[in-house]
Amino acid sequence: MVVDQERCVGCWSCCVICKSENDVPLGMWWNRIDTVGDALDTPYREQGELAMHWLPLACQHCENPACTRVCPVGATYSREDGLVMQDSGRCIGCRYCLVACPYGVRVFNWGRPERPTEFHTGMVEPRPLGTMEKCTFCVHRLPDGQVPSCVWSCPGQARIFGDLNDPQSRVSRLVRERGGYQLLEERGTDPRVFYLPPRRKRGLEP
């Protein structure tokens, strides 16, 4: 997946549809939008000018995930195609993966799930109390050739889904041409989510 920070307007549509698509209870989020800087939805100062950007954040589906390494029972694992999955039936709830993940995108079922309404879509299995869950890239949608919900719901089309192994795919080209970067690249996790940095713009007057 490629996330274009130039296009993201920080509207949280992706996060909200993710919750209904995957039946994520209140208080838990698989997807969130961080604001670059020190305060939510507030510009930060860069080289004397003000700038405002967002960082949509969900599981980075790393090629070298810290979480799968530390799981004592192998409840989180990498699929053949590179997706990092979570087996709720095997998870013992030790939360070591949550400790190990550098992105803070895993969520634990601390209590019984609460929901404003029952918007259960029936497409995703409910996760039991005391286990871990996280973004699956909407794995239930992929076999039909559909993209993850956060991708099609984005009003700014800031998310692009595709095959990073294919050098001719749109995602690969974008990463090459726009200088796509990985979040916390220095930790060596090699995420399969690339961010396209915002282009310099005429700054707002401070």
State the residues that interact with other proteins by CB under 8 A: 26-29, 32, 34-40, 55, 57, 66, 68-75, 90-96, 98-104, 106-112, 114, 128-131, 183-184, 187-188
Of the two residues 37 and 156, which places its CB atom closer to other proteins in the complex? 37
CB of 32 to other proteins, least distance (A): 6
How many CA atoms lie within 13 Å of 29's alpha carbon, on the beta-carbon side? Answer: 17
DSSP 33: E
CB of 104 to other proteins, least distance (A): 4
Work out the angle at residue 29's Cα, subtended by the Cα atoms of residues 153 and 136, and round it to the nearest 5 degrees: 65
CB of 202 to other proteins, least distance (A): 24
Of the two residues 92 and 204, which places its CB atom closer to other proteins in the complex? 92
Of the two residues 58 and 154, which places its CB atom closer to other proteins in the complex? 58
Of the two residues 186 and 205, which places its CB atom closer to other proteins in the complex? 186
CB of 111 to other proteins, least distance (A): 3
Using an 8 Å Cβ cutoff, are 68 and 76 in contact?
Answer: yes
Q: Distance between CA 34 and CA 167 in Å, rounded?
A: 30
Of the two residues 72 and 122, which places its CB atom closer to other proteins in the complex? 72
Residue 105's closest CA among 191, 200, 11, 3? 191
- Phi, psi (rounded to 5 degrees) for 137: 60, 30
Please report, for residues 138, 145, 152, the alpha-carbon distance to residue 85 in angstroms, rounded to integers and kept in the order given: 11, 19, 21
CB of 30 to other proteins, least distance (A): 9
